[in-house]
């Protein structure tokens, strides 16, 4: 249950609950949400029976070198700051082609860490009386927008900030031209069209459901109030006063030269994401030097006029579950046994990041990587050396075996090899839907669409309830002109996932009843 700390207008606490996350084709990654949640992990950190201790700099250096060697990421860079100063440690390379060791100026996508920046700017505007947290969302949207649901009219900015608006993780009406850059052509009009027809299942404030949609809308609110685009406002309100000159959305030539190439979970390079209409949700790029400035400002170690807004963004709004985790304006705050730890992590297709702030001990940690694979356990171990590090185990050896076969000889030969290896029951290989899904993805990216379709269908034969594979197969069938097959596949998907919003929208789109832009 979510427990109310203070009750603002339009935050209904009756029967408040946490909704499960339902994955769609629009997930920010394919696998990163399969990890243990921060709430569960931090129970151990806040346990008084644990002997809290800080890990040495040499130990951190050895850890990240080992994790890079074991293929957790092409590179890992760590920043630590407290009242005594900073340490920056790194391991790995920017990419297989660019063998430079990352440093404090190396750029990474920081994904959802953008949300805490959005939250601070909203908090700052509220302190300056430019808006109120209890203002309805519709106050800042076009006057002609006419939602079909009365519940949408009740959604406040605070509901958006605390993920209690009812909006899901992603809008359902995205059909990107480029699947490797899925938000590049998603428009503000599409976002507003989605708001107009969205029908929340619950009253605003009654349930927690993590929502990128909500923070995308908050980005639009910031632009409406300021009269500036999101990036310009971030540069003016956050970056300039905190001297975060490398925190951007649009890379300059110099920053692009210092950008670490993103990689998926099995180490293949992926495209950077562009998110013009949904920037407030996860569009920022930054480096460790800038992020340490940001952490110092949140701790009060770096004096700034933003400190009151930052403090407001740290204030508990709701209790999340029963494990002393609280929702704030963008952060998760873990508060127990005298410890107060703020946490926000982020991920895009090729990057994983985390910021953790120990408010009591005035200490902060930043971890940035150019891989989808998560780094939460590294950060937790750095905060408390008694928290166990979980050594990364590379699970993609099977993909490395069948992928070249599929590319050179086709899906049928690769599938035959897969089945042969499966009968051998080798401990060297992990057999699951994600390996086969990745094999299909690589064929799709290579333009071998017929083979990709075969691989996805074989995956469904092996794992007939794989929602993700149904989504990939249906999407590829639609893109390759196989409309009837796509319709049938989306119908099959709905038979096992009846509430899948994107599948419902795609059926309307394929039947000519949905507007894309």
Predicted local confidence at residue 179, as pLDDT: 96
- Calculate the alpha carbon distances from 235 to 121, 230, 240, 284, 298 in Å: 11, 9, 6, 11, 17
Predicted local confidence at residue 443, as pLDDT: 99
Taking the model in full, what pTM does it have?
A: 0.90
Predicted local confidence at residue 193, as pLDDT: 97
Q: Are 298 and 308 in contact (CB under 8 A)?
A: no
Distance of CA 167 to the CA centre of its chain: 16
Pairing type for strands 325-327 and 332-336 reads antiparallel
Separation between Cα atoms, residue 388 and residue 404, nearest integer Å: 36
Query: Can you tell me whether residue 3 is helix, strand or coil?
Result: strand
Predicted local confidence at residue 338, as pLDDT: 80
Tokens linked to 470: 């149904």
Q: Are 202 and 10 in contact (CB under 8 A)?
A: no
Q: Residue 24 gets which letter from DSSP? A: -
Domains in the chain: ranges and CATH: 18-111+227-383 (3.40.710.10), 118-223 (no CATH), 397-510 (1.25.40.10)
Predicted local confidence at residue 33, as pLDDT: 36
Low-confidence ranges of the chain (pLDDT < 50): 1-51, 517
Predicted local confidence at residue 44, as pLDDT: 44
Predicted local confidence at residue 1, as pLDDT: 37
State the angle between helix axes of 376-383 and 38-45 in degrees (0 to 180), rounded to the nearest 10.
20
Separation between Cα atoms, residue 7 and residue 30, nearest integer Å: 36
Q: Is 480 exposed, middle or buried (0-12, 13-18, 19+ CB in 10 A)?
A: middle
Following DSSP, what letter does each residue of 307-372 receive, concatenated? HHHHHHHHS--EEETTTTEEE-SS-EEEEETTEEEEEEEEEETTEEEEEEEETTTTEEEEEEESSS
Predicted local confidence at residue 53, as pLDDT: 65
290-344 pLDDT, tens digit per residue, is: 999 999 999 999 999 999 999 999 999 998 876 789 999 999 999 877 889 999 9
Element (H, E) at 63: helix 57-69
User: What are φ and ψ of residue 47, in 5° steps?
Assistant: -75, 120
Predicted local confidence at residue 52, as pLDDT: 53
Put residue 227 in one of left, alpha, beta given phi > 0 → left and psi -120 to 50 → alpha: left
Predicted local confidence at residue 513, as pLDDT: 59
196-232 pLDDT, tens digit per residue, is: 999 998 899 988 999 999 999 999 999 999 999 999 9
Q: Residue 262 gets which letter from DSSP? A: P
């Amino acid at each position: 249950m979510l427990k109310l700390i203070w009750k603002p207008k339009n935050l209904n606490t009756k029967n408040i609950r946490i909704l499960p996350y339902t994955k769609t084709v629009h997930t920010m990654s394919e696998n990163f949400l399969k990890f243990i949640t921060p709430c569960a992990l931090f129970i151990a950190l806040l346990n008084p029976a644990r002997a809290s201790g800080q890990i040495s700099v040499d130990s951190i250096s050895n850890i990240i070198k080992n994790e890079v060697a074991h293929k957790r990421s092409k590179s890992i860079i760590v920043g630590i700051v407290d009242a005594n100063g900073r340490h920056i440690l790194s391991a790995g390379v920017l990419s297989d082609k660019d063998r430079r060791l990352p440093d404090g100026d190396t750029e990474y996508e920081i994904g959802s860490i953008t949300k805490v920046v959005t939250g601070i700017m909203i908090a700052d505007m509220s302190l300056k009386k430019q808006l109120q947290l209890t203002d309805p969302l519709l106050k800042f949207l076009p006057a002609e927008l006419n939602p079909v649901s009365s519940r949408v009219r009740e959604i406040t900015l605070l509901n958006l900030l605390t993920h209690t608006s009812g909006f899901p993780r992603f809008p359902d009406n995205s059909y990107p031209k480029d699947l490797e850059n899925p938000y590049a052509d998603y428009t503000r009009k599409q976002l507003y069209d989605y708001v107009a027809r969205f029908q929340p299942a619950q009253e605003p404030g009654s349930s927690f459901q993590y929502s990128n949609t909500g923070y995308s809308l908050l980005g639009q609110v910031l632009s409406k109030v300021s009269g500036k685009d999101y990036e310009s406002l971030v540069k003016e309100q956050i970056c300039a006063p905190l001297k975060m000159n490398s925190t951007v959305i649009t890379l300059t030539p110099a920053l692009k030269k210092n950008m670490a190439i993103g990689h998926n979970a099995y180490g293949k390079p992926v495209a950077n994401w562009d998110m013009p209409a949904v920037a407030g949700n996860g569009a920022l790029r930054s480096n460790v030097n800038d992020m340490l400035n940001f952490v110092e400002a949140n701790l009060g170690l770096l004096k700034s006029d933003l400190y009151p807004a930052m403090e407001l963004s740290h204030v508990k709004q709701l209790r999340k579950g029963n494990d002393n985790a609280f929702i704030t304006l963008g952060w998760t705050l873990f508060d127990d046994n005298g410890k107060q730890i703020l946490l926000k992590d982020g991920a895009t297709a090729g990057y994983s990041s985390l910021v953790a702030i120990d408010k009591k001990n005035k200490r902060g940690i930043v971890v940035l990587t150019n891989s989808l694979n998560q780094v939460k356990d590294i950060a937790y171990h750095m905060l408390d050396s008694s928290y166990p590090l979980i050594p990364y185990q590379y699970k993609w050896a099977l993909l490395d075996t069948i992928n070249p076969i599929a590319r050179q000889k086709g899906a049928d030969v690769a599938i035959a090899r897969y089945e042969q290896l499966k009968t051998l029951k080798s401990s060297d290989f992990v057999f699951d839907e994600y390996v086969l899904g990745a094999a299909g993805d690589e064929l799709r990216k290579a333009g071998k669409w017929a083979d990709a379709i075969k691989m996805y269908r074989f995956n469904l034969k092996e794992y007939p309830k794989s929602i993700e594979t149904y989504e990939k197969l249906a999407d590829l069938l639609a893109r390759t002109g196989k409309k009837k097959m796509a319709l049938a596949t989306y119908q099959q998907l709905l038979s096992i996932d009846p509430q899948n919003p994107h599948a419902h929208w795609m059926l309307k789109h394929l039947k000519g009843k949905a507007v894309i832009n």
